[in-house]
Amino acid sequence: MPELVFFSGTMDCGKSTLALQIEHNRSARGLVGMIFTRNDRAGEGKLSSRLGLVTDAVEVGEHADLYAHLVDHLSQGRRADYVIADEAQFLAPEQIDQLARVVDDLDLDVYAFGITTDFRSKLFPGSQRLVELADRVEVLQVEALCWCGARATHNARTVGGVMVVEGAQVVVGDVTGSPDEVGYEVLCRRHHRRRMTASTARAAALSPDVLPVSSA
Ligand SMILES: [Zn+2]
């Protein structure tokens, strides 16, 4: 039976690497995939991993109908044996419903990859819909670590190195080197709650203003 599978995890947990691995294994067996992505770090129409692998993908627009896209593709006599949707947290809930319909009505496996929660530890709408609809949810256990060494379970957004908890849900990190550069960092829950990123922890350790707590 074809399945809708949601591979979820934090940032840096190896989702895109696994997506590329699935794509590689299936194309080695002569299968053809339809690969969707949105806001990949390598730019429009790319699926890339931090390990430097990259493949072409269909960039999904905000209002794109993924089911209609596949029906159209297949009706032109072109092949699609399975579907990969990377950065699925950025898809609209309706687009996740369209992926479920691809499984049920077109009999294709759909592998969706996404970050579960945003920088405020709230579910992304696309991820929420995947949790609701998926036949299986696989939580990726690649060990992403907080700066303290604990397992990183939460995503933090930083602006100029300082963790923020307000702002738009989707802001793609930049690499401009400007002082208000938006970045992301994975943290354990404890340090996410305390808003302690690697750089604030380092600054606190070096600062003469931070005195050891007296037990007196
Ligand atoms: Zn920590």
Rounded to whole angstroms, how far apart are CA atoms 56 and 34?
10
Contacts of 51 (CB under 8 A, 6+ apart): 17
Is 10 marked as binding a ligand?
yes
Cα 62 vs. chain centroid, distance in angstroms? 17
pLDDT the model gives residue 167:
86
23 is catalytic: no
Rounded to whole angstroms, how far apart are CA atoms 59 and 172?
15
Catalytic residue from among 87, 138, 166, 185: 87
- Cβ-contact 115, 125 below 8 angstroms: no
Rounded to whole angstroms, how far apart are CA atoms 124 and 122?
6
* pLDDT averaged over 10-residue windows placed end to end, the chain, 216 residues: 93 81 90 91 78 83 96 96 95 98 98 92 95 94 83 88 86 68 89 92 74 46
Q: How far is the CA of 142 from the centre of ligand 1 (A)?
A: 16
Rounded to whole angstroms, how far apart are CA atoms 55 and 12?
18
pLDDT the model gives residue 208:
60
pLDDT the model gives residue 17:
84
Q: How far is the CA of 146 from the centre of ligand 1 (A)?
A: 5
Residue 102 in 3-state DSSP?
Answer: helix
Residue 113 in 3-state DSSP?
Answer: strand
Is 19 marked as binding a ligand?
no
pLDDT the model gives residue 169:
84
Residue 20 in 3-state DSSP?
Answer: helix
pLDDT the model gives residue 175:
56
Is 11 marked as binding a ligand?
yes
- Angle, helices 93-106/125-133, rounded to nearest 10 degrees: 30
Domains within the chain, CATH numbers bracketed: 1-142 (3.40.50.300), 144-207 (3.30.60)
Q: How far is the CA of 152 from the centre of ligand 1 (A)?
A: 7
